[in-house]
């Protein structure tokens, strides 16, 4: 492979690295046969919705629907976020419709692990609640059964996506009672609304414990466990702190075992983490908490917090330790986190996420200047000697050995390193990928405007102006690179901007903005270096003639 072919290969490799996880995402499991029908039977059995009237709760951030019979949180609309497919509608996170099942369950279990609340019927004092102060309490009460009076209380807080779920249990059974509390997020594995070929990120169960740290539990692994009857999926099963739940692009729902600077719900024992595919083919991620023994004639309360909302760093950083890890930054969490931190600081300075991206790109470009400068100088030298290389090809014809020998001699004479343009670019790959994920995974860009026609940096450019600029700048960059001598490579270099730009028509505008600014800076830098090297070469030729 000659030097031009190597440089072409490096450029293509770089582009593939940047787009790999979007263009070729990890395979997602396919729905099992008759899964939808089984799920709907399960939903009907769990909630008995046909026999109850739902309790509707409205705050400044959410609209929740609680099944009055079971006390399950079966619908949650985020009022400050619009739907992925319709900007005129609010985003629905939890739901129990035919097309999508995603609910939060809190239950009490007896000493045999059987549900105490399954055969109970809660009732609420009213069917609709509206937050008028800082907090809103919704109490569901069940008639006494087997000597136990059970109340289930949801507490909603102003300007928050944190929901407190509490059980008040009064024991009048005549003997001590030992109970466990079980908290679960239950959902199907249908892809989230708005997810497409170029908009894929991890969806599924997540667990954080100090021992196992942050763990994703793929649906496909749970499928294998269910089909083989074995529990072999890797995740930490016991802990006394951490969190567990479900995540998807931009949004999450997690049970918090220990709030930031607070007490663990596990007490002095360990909580049990349970992630599995149920018999109805729905997936459950949650925890089982052993409660202190309730003596006869006493009342005991147990509570836990559920965060169900956006993966906004401001919202989640103070809720639980390491909750920020739930942001899907792929395999390069730390570079992406650092870059998002910088972008967040820039946003605080300029007050606009679009301009924050522009400034971030400029800063990163300046930091990487030594690497890019070395790369562009090498390519500029290759471009300057392109006529000599073409002459050597004509001189030696099909004699490849003689041509390679002459080329290496020319590189030594001209002090050119054929790998000089490629290696610095490869060293930048982690930074480029980190920037990509920092922008792609940031819910802060959702509904964030930039200028004029760009009203939402998380959606594709409605007028395709940025993608067209992306294609134009990519093409112009190819004219500044050393021209390939191989006809096939030359054609590829011309087509490549169009091929790679096609996917940018579907990318979030914030991502495309970053690449456009980066391309413009690269063009200016490479053009300047090309001119400098060319002038130096011409001056050298003049001196040689003298």
Same domain, 289 and 420: no
Beta bridge partners, 283, equal 187, 277
CA trace torsion 336, 342, 345, 349 (10° rounding): -130
Give a yes or no: residue 261 inside a domain: yes
Angle at alpha carbon of residue 176, lines to 171 and 177, rounded to 5°? 70
**546 Cβ neighbours under 8 A, 6+ residues apart:** none
Same domain, 395 and 505: yes
328, 354, 379: which is the final residue of a domain? 328
Could you give the CA distance from residue 160 to residue 157 in angstroms, rounded to a whole number? 6
Same domain, 307 and 346: no
| Spatial contact of 445 and 458, defined as CB atoms under 8 Å apart | yes
Q: Which two tokens stand for residue 171?
A: 């024991």
Low-confidence ranges of the chain (pLDDT < 50): 1-14, 16-18, 20-51
Same domain, 297 and 187: yes
Cα→Cα distances 88→79, 288, 299, 306, Å: 11, 39, 47, 27
Distance from the Cα of residue 78 to its chain's centroid? 18
Same domain, 16 and 78: no
pLDDT tens, position by position, 374-425: 666 666 666 666 677 777 777 777 777 877 777 777 777 766 666 555 655 6
Same domain, 369 and 518: yes
Give a yes or no: residue 402 inside a domain: yes
For residue 3, what pLDDT is reported?
Answer: 40
- The number of residues making up the chain comes to 546
Same domain, 47 and 123: yes
- Long-range (24+ apart) CB contacts under 8 A made by 415-421 are 415/381, 416/3, 416/378, 416/381, 416/382, 416/385, 417/378, 418/3, 418/6, 418/382, 419/6, 420/374, 420/375, 420/377, 420/378, 420/381, 421/7, 421/10, 421/375, 421/376, 421/378, 421/379, 421/382
Same domain, 264 and 395: no
3-state helix, strand, coil in the chain (%, to 5): 40, 25, 35
Same domain, 395 and 251: no
273, 301, 328: which is the final residue of a domain? 328
For residue 501, what pLDDT is reported?
Answer: 72
Same domain, 55 and 199: yes
Terminal-residue alpha carbon distance, the chain: 37
| Spatial contact of 304 and 165, defined as CB atoms under 8 Å apart | yes
Give a yes or no: residue 63 inside a domain: yes
For residue 64, what pLDDT is reported?
Answer: 98
Cα→Cα distances 225→61, 219, 220, 271, 279, Å: 38, 10, 9, 22, 12
Please state the φ and ψ torsions of residue 102, each to the nearest 5 degrees. -160, 105
| Spatial contact of 169 and 294, defined as CB atoms under 8 Å apart | yes
Same domain, 202 and 313: yes
Give a yes or no: residue 490 inside a domain: yes
Q: Which two tokens stand for residue 332?
A: 């390069």
Could you give the CA distance from residue 340 to residue 542 in angstroms, rounded to a whole number? 51
Number of independent structural domains in the chain: 2
For residue 403, what pLDDT is reported?
Answer: 75
259, 293, 328: which is the final residue of a domain? 328
Closest Cα partner for 333 from 239, 242, 216, 221?
Answer: 216
Give a yes or no: residue 334 inside a domain: no
Q: For 376-405, give the DSSP string.
A: HHHHHHHHHTHHHHHHHHHHHTT-HHHHHH
Give a yes or no: residue 288 inside a domain: yes
Give a yes or no: residue 174 inside a domain: no
Same domain, 214 and 349: no
pLDDT tens, position by position, 333-357: 888 899 999 999 999 999 999 999 9
Q: Which two tokens stand for residue 74?
A: 């079966």
> What is the domain range of residue 536?
3-21+340-545
The CATH number that applies at residue 307 is 2.70.98.90
- Long-range (24+ apart) CB contacts under 8 A made by 339-347 are 339/364, 339/431, 339/434, 339/435, 339/438, 340/313, 340/438, 340/442, 343/438, 343/439, 343/442, 344/313, 344/444, 347/444
Give a yes or no: residue 175 inside a domain: no
């Amino acid at each position: 492979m000659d030097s031009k072919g190597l440089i072409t290969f490096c450029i293509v490799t770089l582009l593939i690295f940047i787009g790999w996880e979007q263009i070729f995402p990890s395979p997602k499991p396919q729905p099992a046969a008759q899964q939808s029908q089984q799920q709907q039977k399960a939903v009907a059995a769990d909630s008995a919705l046909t026999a109850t009237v739902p309790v509707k709760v409205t705050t400044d951030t959410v609209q929740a629907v609680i099944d009055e019979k079971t006390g399950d949180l079966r619908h949650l609309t985020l009022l400050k976020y619009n739907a992925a497919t319709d900007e005129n509608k609010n985003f629905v996170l939890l739901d129990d419709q035919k097309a999508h099942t995603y609910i939060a369950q809190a239950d009490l279990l007896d000493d045999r692990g059987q549900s105490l609340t399954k055969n109970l019927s809660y009732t609420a004092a009213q069917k609709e609640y509206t937050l008028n102060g800082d907090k809103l309490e919704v109490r569901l009460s069940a008639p006494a059964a087997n000597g136990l009076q059970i109340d289930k209380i949801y507490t909603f807080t102003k300007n928050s996506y944190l929901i407190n779920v509490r059980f008040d249990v009064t024991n009048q059974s005549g003997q001590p009672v030992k109970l466990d509390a079980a908290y679960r997020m239950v959902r199907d594995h249908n892809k989230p609304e708005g997810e497409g070929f170029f908009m894929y990120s991890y969806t599924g169960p997540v667990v954080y414990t100090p021992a196992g740290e942050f763990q994703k539990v793929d649906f496909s692994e749970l499928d294998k466990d269910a089909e083989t009857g074995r529990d072999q999926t890797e995740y930490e099963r016991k802990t006394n702190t951490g969190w567990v739940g479900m995540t998807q692009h931009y949004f999450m729902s997690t049970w918090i075992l220990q709030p930031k600077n607070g007490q663990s719900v596990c007490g002095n024992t360990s909580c049990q983490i349970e992630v599995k595919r149920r018999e109805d083919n729905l997936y459950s991620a949650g925890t089982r908490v052993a409660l202190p023994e309730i003596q006869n004639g006493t009342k005991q309360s147990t509570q836990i917090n559920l965060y169900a909302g956006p993966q906004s760093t401001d919202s989640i950083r103070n809720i639980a330790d390491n909750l920020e890890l739930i942001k899907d930054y792929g395999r390069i969490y730390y570079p992406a986190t650092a870059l998002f931190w910088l972008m967040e600081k820039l946003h605080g300075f300029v007050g606009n996420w679009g301009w924050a991206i522009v400034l971030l790109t400029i800063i990163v470009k300046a930091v990487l200047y030594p690497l890019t400068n070395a790369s562009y100088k090498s390519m500029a030298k290759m471009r300057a000697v392109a006529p000599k290389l073409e002459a050597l090809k004509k001189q030696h014809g099909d004699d490849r050995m003689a041509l390679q020998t002459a080329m290496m001699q020319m590189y030594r004479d001209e002090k050119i390193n054929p790998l000089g343009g490629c290696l610095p670019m490869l060293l930048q790959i982690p930074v480029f990928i980190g920037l990509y994920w920092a922008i792609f995974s940031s819910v802060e860009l959702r509904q964030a405007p930039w200028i004029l026609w760009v009203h939402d940096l998380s959606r594709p450019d409605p007028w395709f102006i940025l993608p067209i600029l992306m294609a134009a700048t990519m093409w112009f960059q190819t004219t500044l690179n050393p021209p390939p001598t191989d006809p096939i490579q030359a054609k590829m270099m011309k087509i490549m901007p169009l091929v790679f730009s096609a996917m940018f028509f579907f990318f979030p505008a914030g991502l495309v903005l970053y690449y456009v600014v980066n391309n413009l800076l690269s063009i200016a830098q490479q053009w300047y270096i090309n001119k400098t090297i060319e002038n130096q070469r011409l001056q050298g030729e003049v001196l040689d003639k003298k």
